[in-house]
Structure 1
């Protein structure tokens, strides 16, 4: 919606928190249910059942809104058979910058492509205990991007090689041992120092390097502190609607743009938020819940005697 906070894009900061949360939750999910090579395929199936029902629903809704309400727009120009076909596997959305897929139909979904790439590698990093090596290599790529030696936006924010260590910070926070906790905490402190250096002009500010570093500095301690809280029904409710809000807020904005093509003042921002939350509640109960039973049955089959899904697995 074009809103910034102290010159920073809060959406980018939120994405970094999402990556850290995802690393935590996926580690929990694998450790509890899929920590064996023969179960990796079941893990992938679990993720498909999690991501696809609402993604397909909102993708179709977005295509419909764009086609009928936003003709002759950049969004309408992307309604081609090629772009639609490339979007459905989801992974190409994470490589939109190379022309692999369009990004205007459902703009937030580019990060689902990134998320899917993470899903492909995290079971093996955990099973083969390779997180440390992957973490170090990813930090090296990120620093090269942050300092401008390679494309900052692509390799410091959007592609897995440069952001894998952010996922892994969350991974280290799941049942943290001293070494993992030190790695995550040290990363947060280093990110905070880099952010200060960027804002002070000691490091050149490049696309989103300030937002990414402050996102790490805030996200790591936030996730750590949240893991110390007891499970509450509010966690379940917010976890249930979070994915729908992520997917539908651009659809809501597209719909409103057709009837209310003005700047995003306070009233329109509130309207977008209200409609997004309401629509997410509807899509969760009508689209997500049927798939939820299949996912839980899959986990029960992967690990006999699995208990009720609580805490960190609610939003998974």
Structure 2
């Protein structure tokens, strides 16, 4: 599903350039698919490599090696571009020691709305904070078979947010309690059994009905509740179908550059703003995307790939340890 991931990254970038589709923010719709994909991939990763409590720490190391290399590269790049090219801007005002230090662990970025970190240095990175929160809990939910309870509680929070009983933006889109079930829809799609597939499919159907009700005015439209429900309704079947496709090198390549595009488009936008402060018409949007693609290809080759080798070695070691007799494990 590499091409799909790249498409999602492009939709996020386009939304940050002020583009909408039928009054909807395409970036929010895309983020929901990212959450579903993450749930699928993390379940696969844990069940194949880190399926016992003693390997949870190795799972966290694996995830750090995935997120950090390109995040640090683009976070530092953004700091430099803002400092040298955008002085006196709101972005420059966020270049404080406190904000930078709080951003480096990534998790606080998911709580920027509470003042825990800045949001203007690398704006898309807030969702990495949300991802990190999911990574912290998913091994326990899978190993101790607690996905059903977590799914149910999360749906309750989301419904309350969508109906306006609690903040719709925070608890229906940005914080883990209200979106955990979206991750878990993806989790249920990994080697789906009848019950898990029914849960994911039923969630997509209910989300589609909620979206229709919101657009018809039967449910009051609140921040992103239409986009989130649309994202669930579209994302669950899309991820399910894409997981059935065979591996292809072109698709793999497109997936490889998607993370860089997701992170770096604001760096490109900041850089161009210093020299070309104009509206984001079609030509500027295309320029941002082309530069983002090229930059992502470079960062994948020279930043991501070395870390990828370490991740593969880590997983191989986890599998090797799992295959040894108990006595050998204790001796090691």
TM-score (norm 1): 0.96
User: SS at the partner of 2:22?
Assistant: coil
Q: Tell me whether 1:146 sits opposite 2:138 in the alignment.
A: no
Q: Tell me whether 1:37 sits opposite 2:53 in the alignment.
A: yes
Runs of 4+ in structure 1 deviating by more than 2 angstroms, as ranges, are none
CA distance, structure 2, for counterparts of residue 154 and residue 235 of structure 1: 34
Q: Tell me whether 1:214 sits opposite 2:223 in the alignment.
A: no
Deviation per CA, 1:218-277, whole angstroms, max 9, x where unpaired? Answer: 000000000111111122101211111111001000011111111100000000000000
Q: Number of residue pairs matched?
A: 306
CA distance, structure 1, for counterparts of residue 321 and residue 131 of structure 2: 29
**Which one of the candidate residues 32, 41, 55 is aligned to 2:71?**
55
**Which one of the candidate residues 131, 136, 141 is aligned to 1:120?**
136
Residue correspondence of structure 1 range 40-119 to structure 2 within 5 A: 40-119=56-135
CA RMSD in angstroms, aligned pairs only: 0.9
CA distance, structure 2, for counterparts of residue 285 and residue 229 of structure 1: 25
Q: Tell me whether 1:235 sits opposite 2:228 in the alignment.
A: no
Residue 43 (structure 1) shift:
0.2
After TM superposition, the structure 1 stretch with the greater mean CA deviation from structure 2, 123-132 or 236-245, is 236-245
Unaligned 5+ residue runs, structure 2? 1-16, 323-332
CA distance, structure 2, for counterparts of residue 119 and residue 74 of structure 1: 31
CA distance, structure 1, for counterparts of residue 71 and residue 40 of structure 2: 22
Equivalent in the alignment of 1:309: none
User: SS at the partner of 2:76?
Assistant: helix
Q: Tell me whether 1:247 sits opposite 2:263 in the alignment.
A: yes
Q: Tell me whether 1:272 sits opposite 2:279 in the alignment.
A: no
**Which one of the candidate residues 163, 168, 183 is aligned to 2:179?**
163
Deviation per CA, 1:85-125, whole angstroms, max 9, x where unpaired? Answer: 00000000000000000010000000000000000000000
TM-score (norm 2): 0.91
User: SS at the partner of 2:20?
Assistant: coil
User: SS at the partner of 1:4?
Assistant: coil
Residue 72 (structure 1) shift:
0.7
User: SS at the partner of 2:134?
Assistant: helix
Q: Tell me whether 1:131 sits opposite 2:147 in the alignment.
A: yes
Equivalent in the alignment of 2:314: 298
CA distance, structure 2, for counterparts of residue 116 and residue 188 of structure 1: 24
CA distance, structure 2, for counterparts of residue 278 and residue 284 of structure 1: 10
CA distance, structure 1, for counterparts of residue 313 and residue 259 of structure 2: 21
CA distance, structure 2, for counterparts of residue 171 and residue 18 of structure 1: 12
Unaligned 5+ residue runs, structure 1? 307-316
Equivalent in the alignment of 1:177: 193
CA distance, structure 1, for counterparts of residue 164 and residue 270 of structure 2: 34
CA distance, structure 2, for counterparts of residue 240 and residue 295 of structure 1: 15
CA distance, structure 2, for counterparts of residue 295 and residue 85 of structure 1: 25
User: SS at the partner of 1:35?
Assistant: coil
